Amino acid sequence: MRHIIPNRRRLFTTIGPLALAGIAGIALSACTNSGASAATPTPTCGSTAPKLTVQASGNATATPNLLTLDIGVDVSDPTASAALSDANDKATALSNTLQLVGVSKADIQTTNFSIQPNFATNGTITGYQVTNSVHVKLHNLSASGAVIDAAARSAGNAIRINGLTFSVDDTTTVDGTARADGIQVAADHARSMASAAGESISGVCSITDSTTNYPITSSFDQASAGAGALSASQVPVQPGTQQTTAQVTVVYALTRSTATHKG
């Protein structure tokens, strides 16, 4: 189960000019009235109308439920054919083991295959190296340590584990929570700044979402990825949490506060 925790943080906020000027590069639509009374004039988002532009960030946190494993085999032999045969055997054993421990065949994808000569210092070829790497998606994180251990045993010293990537399989909910948090932060800033300038918020002209999500990547030391290191006990894997940050830009319509006209 994924747990989502809103985490409001005002990371970067800029306030646009309050002068009667258009906002370049933003296609404006009709304003929406935000609680104005019937006697208040309908707000406008025209090019000459006063506006306030706010950039804000909102955060939400979720527990990753998907682990992508970059794993493969790397062998060297005196001849290319021997290296290829050896690599094929170990890669097949790796794939079969992954499926035996519950990984779906659809979640195993070859990402790299290469045959390269090994050279001595004098430039002569001393043998050939074959690398075969796959991406493996693990949906059951509680069993991921056992899967890594079994995979390492299947290929022996030829195993290579290049990295682990934790992510949220479906980010719809956590992204929506972060965006909603960002909109609320923008609204709070806008009301505060408008009030300080003797203005009030009368509507929203436009909202721009520039959210970019990146998975959390955990490094794995290849030097400890041999069978001897991994077979002693199950590999401990901790998913931690993943934070999504939503970046929003909101353009508000402004009206002169009634209090500024008294006297």
Q: Where are the domains of the chain?
A: 5-61+171-212+244-261, 66-167
The answer to whether residue 145 scores a pLDDT higher than 70 is yes
pLDDT in tens, 43-84: 578 888 889 999 999 999 998 999 999 999 999 999 999 999
**What is the mean pLDDT of the segment spanning 165-176?**
88
pLDDT of residue 116: 96
pLDDT of residue 217: 53
Which tokens belong to 230?
Answer: 């991994």
Percent of the chain with pLDDT over 90: 52
| Range with the poorest average pLDDT among 41-55, 167-181, 222-236 | 222-236
Class of 66-167 in CATH? alpha beta
Q: What is the Cα–Cα distance from 245 to 248, expressed in whole angstroms?
A: 10
Q: What is the Cα–Cα distance from 73 to 88, expressed in whole angstroms?
A: 9
- Of 214, 215, 218, nearest to 167 (Cα)? 215
Provide the 3-class DSSP secondary structure of residue 82. Answer: helix
pLDDT of residue 244: 87
Band (185; pLDDT cuts 50, 70, 90): very high
pLDDT of residue 26: 32
Which tokens belong to 200?
Answer: 């009030």
pLDDT of residue 49: 86
| Range with the poorest average pLDDT among 5-9, 14-18, 177-181, 224-228 | 14-18
- Of 106, 72, 105, nearest to 91 (Cα)? 72
pLDDT of residue 221: 46
The answer to whether residue 29 scores a pLDDT higher than 50 is no
| 52 contacts 227 by C-beta, under 8 angstroms | no
Provide the 3-class DSSP secondary structure of residue 62. Answer: strand
Band (129; pLDDT cuts 50, 70, 90): very high
Provide the 3-class DSSP secondary structure of residue 193. Answer: helix
The answer to whether residue 224 scores a pLDDT higher than 50 is no
In terms of pLDDT, which residue wins out, 257 or 161? Answer: 161
Which pTM was predicted?
Answer: 0.65
